[in-house]
């Protein structure tokens, strides 16, 4: 599985951004697709995830109700729609994939390059 994330940028607090993750590979339906983020000096943390083939969607409490993870099967792309952004959402965001669901970044085998999201106050 290969992943490529893009769509980050600079936005004011209260604004929105949509991140995209282009996915290539076989049997994608068995994979968990996740978004993580890492702020300077902090550990990489879970943001959201779902199984490509369908099922439960998972969110970190800090983003629940503001962020939405989704996919476009035709484009093999996973999205992270981020609304009501806060300065504390500032981080490098990564998309990831693995056959196992976990909120720990150490579980995920496949990673895209990060994309910077900066939220100004």
- Going residue by residue through the chain (121 aa), what tens digit of pLDDT does each one get? 999 999 999 999 999 999 999 999 887 888 999 999 999 999 999 999 999 888 889 999 999 999 999 999 999 999 999 999 999 999 999 999 999 999 999 999 999 999 999 999 9
Closest by Cα among 119, 121, 33 to 71:
33
Whether residue 1 contacts residue 25, with contact meaning beta carbons closer than 8 Å, is answered with yes
Say how many C-beta atoms besides its own lie within 10 A of residue 108's C-beta.
Answer: 25
* Residue-level pLDDT at 37: 98
* Residue-level pLDDT at 30: 85
* Residue-level pLDDT at 53: 85
């Amino acid at each position: 599985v290969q992943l490529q994330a893009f769509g980050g940028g600079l936005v004011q607090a209260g604004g929105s951004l949509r991140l995209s993750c282009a996915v290539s590979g076989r049997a994608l339906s068995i994979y968990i697709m996740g978004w993580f983020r890492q702020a300077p000096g902090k550990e990489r943390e879970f943001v959201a995830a779902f199984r490509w083939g369908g099922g439960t969607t998972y969110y970190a409490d800090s983003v629940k109700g503001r962020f939405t993870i989704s996919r476009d099967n035709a484009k093999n792309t996973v999205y992270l729609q981020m609304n009501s952004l806060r300065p504390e959402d500032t981080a490098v965001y990564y998309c990831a994939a693995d056959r196992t669901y976990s909120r720990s970044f150490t579980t995920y085998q496949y990673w895209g390059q990060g994309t910077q999201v900066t939220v100004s106050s």
